[in-house]
Amino acid sequence: MALTWSPAIPGVPPCDLRRSAVSSLPSARRLSSTIIRSVRASLRLGPLFWPWQKVKVGPLSVSPMGFGTWAWGNQVLWGYQESMDTELQDAFNLALRNGINLFDTADSYGTGRLNGQSEKLLGKFISEFQGPGNVRENVVIATKFAAYPWRVTPGQFVNACKSSLDRLQIDKIGIGQLHWSTANYAPLQEKALWDGLVAMYEKGLVQAVGVSNYGPKQLLKIHDYLTTRGVPLCSAQVQFSLLSMGPEQMELKRVCDSLGIRVIAYSPLGLGMLTGKYTASTLPSGPRGLLFRQILPGLESLLFSLRRIAQARGKTMSQVAINWCICKGTIPIPGIKTVKHVDENLGSLGWRLNSDEILELESAAQDSPKKMIQNIFQTA
């Protein structure tokens, strides 16, 4: 029986070692050249990230993908019920045991009487985690502080941070983030938000600071201000996916790269539209269904490309869509509600789309007549 060796490089076939030993030198050289070209192409695309391999966000080391918890406590959009908490805890435990250590939340997550529920559940799950202590200690919580109209002084933001620490049952938040900018409707409040971040950082309540829903122009302003105060801006969270890859997102990414700021991609699956689980006749309930009805009919070409690449690679459409975000140099934070979500999303790591696949997806996305509706709090 022939011995074979597979270099596991796309486009390079396995070679029979017995035949290779007596093959002509020119053929061997051609094979070597093919391998070298494929390796170089892979290196240009970047490393193959695994959950236990960490990337830097300021002083912090985090997994190349995190998980979002917007749905935890949100009854209106995501249909949360407290009976789901056991499944949520199982999902959290599975993520942690598989190397994911970045979890994103906000002090406004949770509707009505459940306001703050997302932070409360994270705090409970962290404290009850049954596993090595160092795994629990390395959890990085990125929480966002809402720019409520009554938060108009730095002290009020410090108090908000302390309340989050209580709900999370931790001594220090990993990344303290401004949830949105008030530049569009209350520009005079903006300075208080920035000073609030500075105060949290100086008091040691957060290890790093970031922003969410800031466009490139406003990002440059807060970066320059924080620099004068000696506070590094480490992250910028933005809606980023194959449905949200417009000029604004790409310019923000360019600015962040030039300043050493990490881009955290929220809604990498377009609220679920890129999963392939929904059609015009099978829509989610509630407000999401209304949104899907408007956008899904224009996504046939993009969904076709996602499905084709997923089938060719033995992946799911969700895994391909999330991997695209990683290939673009962002840290995606898909939301999780079930163990199945975690298990599937973990399959987004450990491999990379090639350049042809990336080009196909982006071409299909650009040709789609419908795009994701942008966050109303997003600034320029």
DSSP string covering 283-317: PPSTHHHHHHHHHGGG-HHHHHHHHHHHHHHT--H
Is residue 97 scored above 60 in pLDDT?
yes
Is residue 170 scored above 50 in pLDDT?
yes
- Work out the angle at residue 310's Cα, subtended by the Cα atoms of residues 332 and 262, and round it to the nearest 5 degrees: 15
Region of poorest pLDDT, from 44-48, 223-227, 262-266, 308-312: 44-48
CA–CA gap between residue 149 and residue 342 (Å, rounded): 36
CA–CA gap between residue 364 and residue 23 (Å, rounded): 43
Question: How much of the chain exceeds pLDDT 90, in percent?
Answer: 72
Q: What's the whole-model pTM score?
A: 0.85
Is residue 14 scored above 80 in pLDDT?
no
C-alpha torsion angle, residues 285, 290, 292, 296 (rounded to 10): 130
Region of poorest pLDDT, from 31-45, 283-297, 365-379: 31-45
The whole-number average pLDDT for the span 160-173 is: 98
266 phi/psi in degrees, rounded to 5: -95, 160
Is residue 39 scored above 60 in pLDDT?
no
- 19-36 pLDDT, tens digit per residue, is 333 333 333 344 344 333
Give the 3-state secondary structure percentages of the chain, helix then strand then coil, rounded to 5: 50, 15, 35
Total length of the chain = 380
Q: Which of 109, 201, 214, 278 is catalytic?
A: 109
**Which residue in 60, 20, 31, 242 sits closest to 140, CA to CA?**
60
pLDDT band at 193 (very low <50, low <70, confident <90, very high): very high
**How many Cβ atoms sit within 10 Å of the Cβ of residue 207?**
18
**Which residue in 368, 362, 348, 347 sits closest to 249, CA to CA?**
362
Point out which residues pair with 332 in neighbouring strands.
265
Fold assignment, 54-279+319-355: TIM Barrel (3.20.20)
- 117-137 pLDDT, tens digit per residue, is 999 999 999 999 998 888 999
- Between these two residues, 166 and 47, which has the higher pLDDT value? 166
CA–CA gap between residue 69 and residue 103 (Å, rounded): 7
pLDDT band at 299 (very low <50, low <70, confident <90, very high): very high
Query: What is the structure's pLDDT at 185?
Result: 93
230 phi/psi in degrees, rounded to 5: 75, 25
174 phi/psi in degrees, rounded to 5: -65, -65
201 is catalytic: no
- 104-115 pLDDT, tens digit per residue, is 999 999 988 888
pLDDT averaged over every residue in the chain:
87
- 109, two tokens: 């997550």
Query: What is the structure's pLDDT at 20?
Result: 33
Is residue 42 scored above 70 in pLDDT?
no
Question: How much of the chain exceeds pLDDT 70, in percent?
Answer: 87
* Most confident region among 42-46, 85-89, 369-373 by mean pLDDT: 85-89
- 230-252 pLDDT, tens digit per residue, is 999 999 999 999 999 989 999 99
208 phi/psi in degrees, rounded to 5: -155, 165
CA–CA gap between residue 285 and residue 288 (Å, rounded): 6
CA–CA gap between residue 243 and residue 81 (Å, rounded): 29
